[in-house]
A = this chain, B = another copy of it.
Amino acid sequence: MDYEIFEAGDVVLQCQQTLRNAKLAYKTFGTLNSDKDNVIVYPTWYSGQHYENEWLLGEGRALDPNKYFIIIPNLLGNGLSSSPNNTPPPFDKARFPNVTFYDNVKLQHRLVTEKFGIKTIKLVTGWSMGAGQTYQWGALYPDMVELICPFLGSAKTSRHNIVFLEGVKAALTADDAWQNGWYEKPPTKGLRAMGRVYAGWGLSQAFYREQVDIEKMGYASLEDFLIGFWENLFFCRDANNLLTMLWTWQQGDISNNELYHGDFDKALSSIKSKAIVITGKHDLYFPPEDNIYEVKHMPNAELRQTDSIWGHFAGGPGLNQVDVDFIDDSLKTLLAR
């Protein structure tokens, strides 16, 4: 086991259910300095686990473990933190409660403060759902977080994004083997279908037009890519876990809590942290328009656009060096402010 568990006890969630013996899995890199002011929090993305965030870390990079104490907390539902597939009955499987970004970030805040005694965070950053958690950090703890860099994500899941995810969910749950979550054997047909639905969304029209899958990634054909990359991305993950995280994503809204009562503009304007928001010109479910709106309402934010044809996957998980460098450069710029 290459990670730690923060035992959070019984946690009452926004949905008014209790996550009993809540576990937050995390991994740290580097050393917390004596002033405890070299902290970076870097949450995970949809279905990703901490080791799938590590591509952005390294000596000489912005996220340099020689300089910073980097905490990667695993999203609830991702199979390492409390999830449908690792929670004992009766709250297991289809009975795992709904969790929000708010619930996740509150728990991460407890890890940071209770476990490590940290009072200020230099930077929160993340891709996709990791970006969602990043915005949530900024809106919940504006005095604690100095910098944020959400990349290819949003502070509030758009209606179109919700619809895209409804398609993903419908494909997964069309498989009778899913059995409303009470499967003994995994619904592999549905999981594979989900990967195929995702395939058109995750990348861009131009990515496929230029045959990056074949020319740069080395797949033999489109079908080879659909199976080898997209079906592979999901079919070995747990269906209930995926549906839990999908629900979290669909509900994403930094203002849906007792601080902002659904006032999205107010929540955005409360993010005092200096921010670089990275948007993707070819991201099909987090299009630039939504990030432009956010940055207009955030007092200290700058928008940077990547034109990468890797679409949403320009933000991760580190498949294309040019994209990695783009994010790394932005993080370095931000950390230098």
Binding site for B on A (CB under 8 A): 158-160, 162-164, 166-177, 189-190, 192-193, 196-201, 203-209, 211, 222, 226, 284-285, 287, 289-290
A191 nearest in chain B by CB position: B174
Contact of A196 among B170, B207, B287 (CB under 8 A): B170
Task: Return chain B residues, CB-CB under 8 Å to A170.
Answer: 171, 192-193, 196-197
Task: Return chain B residues, CB-CB under 8 Å to A169.
Answer: 196
Task: Return chain B residues, CB-CB under 8 Å to A192.
Answer: 170, 174
Do A208 and B171 touch across chains, with their CB atoms under 8 A apart?
Answer: no
Question: Nearest 8 pairs between A and B by C-beta?
Answer: A167-B197, A170-B193, A170-B196, A160-B208, A159-B208, A171-B171, A174-B193, A174-B174
Task: Return chain B residues, CB-CB under 8 Å to A189.
Answer: 174
Do B205 and A193 touch across chains, with their CB atoms under 8 A apart?
Answer: no
Expressed in whole angstroms, the minimum distance between the Cβ of A282 and any Cβ of chain B is: 10
Answer whether A158 and B197 are a contact pair too, CB < 8 Å, given A167-B167, A170-B171, A192-B170: no
Do B289 and A163 touch across chains, with their CB atoms under 8 A apart?
Answer: no
Q: How far, in angstroms, from A91 to B172 measured CA to CA in the complex?
A: 31
Return 13 A-B CB contacts under 8 Å, by A number.
A158-B208, A160-B203, A160-B209, A163-B200, A163-B208, A166-B196, A167-B197, A170-B192, A174-B189, A174-B190, A176-B176, A200-B285, A284-B284
Do A199 and B159 touch across chains, with their CB atoms under 8 A apart?
Answer: no
Copies of this chain present in the complex amount to 2
Contact of A158 among B167, B196, B205 (CB under 8 A): B205
Answer whether A199 and B167 are a contact pair too, CB < 8 Å, given A162-B222, A174-B189, A175-B175: yes
Expressed in whole angstroms, the minimum distance between the Cβ of A269 and any Cβ of chain B is: 20
Q: How far, in angstroms, from A131 to B105 measured CA to CA in the complex?
A: 49
Do B197 and A171 touch across chains, with their CB atoms under 8 A apart?
Answer: yes
A284 nearest in chain B by CB position: B284
Expressed in whole angstroms, the minimum distance between the Cβ of A185 and any Cβ of chain B is: 13
A225 nearest in chain B by CB position: B163
Q: What would 19 more interface pairs be, CB under 8 Å, given A164-B200, A174-B174, A174-B190?
A: A159-B211, A159-B222, A160-B203, A160-B205, A160-B208, A162-B208, A163-B208, A166-B226, A167-B167, A167-B198, A167-B199, A168-B197, A169-B196, A170-B197, A171-B171, A174-B192, A176-B176, A200-B285, A209-B290
Q: How far, in angstroms, from A169 to B197 measured CA to CA in the complex?
A: 9
Q: How far, in angstroms, from A36 to B203 measured CA to CA in the complex?
A: 49
Do A199 and B289 touch across chains, with their CB atoms under 8 A apart?
Answer: no
A175 nearest in chain B by CB position: B174
Task: Return chain B residues, CB-CB under 8 Å to A177.
Answer: 176
Task: Return chain B residues, CB-CB under 8 Å to A163.
Answer: 196, 199-200, 208, 222, 226
Contact of A171 among B193, B209, B226 (CB under 8 A): B193
A162 nearest in chain B by CB position: B222
Task: Return chain B residues, CB-CB under 8 Å to A162.
Answer: 208, 222
Contact of A287 among B160, B175, B205 (CB under 8 A): B205
Expressed in whole angstroms, the minimum distance between the Cβ of A166 and any Cβ of chain B is: 5
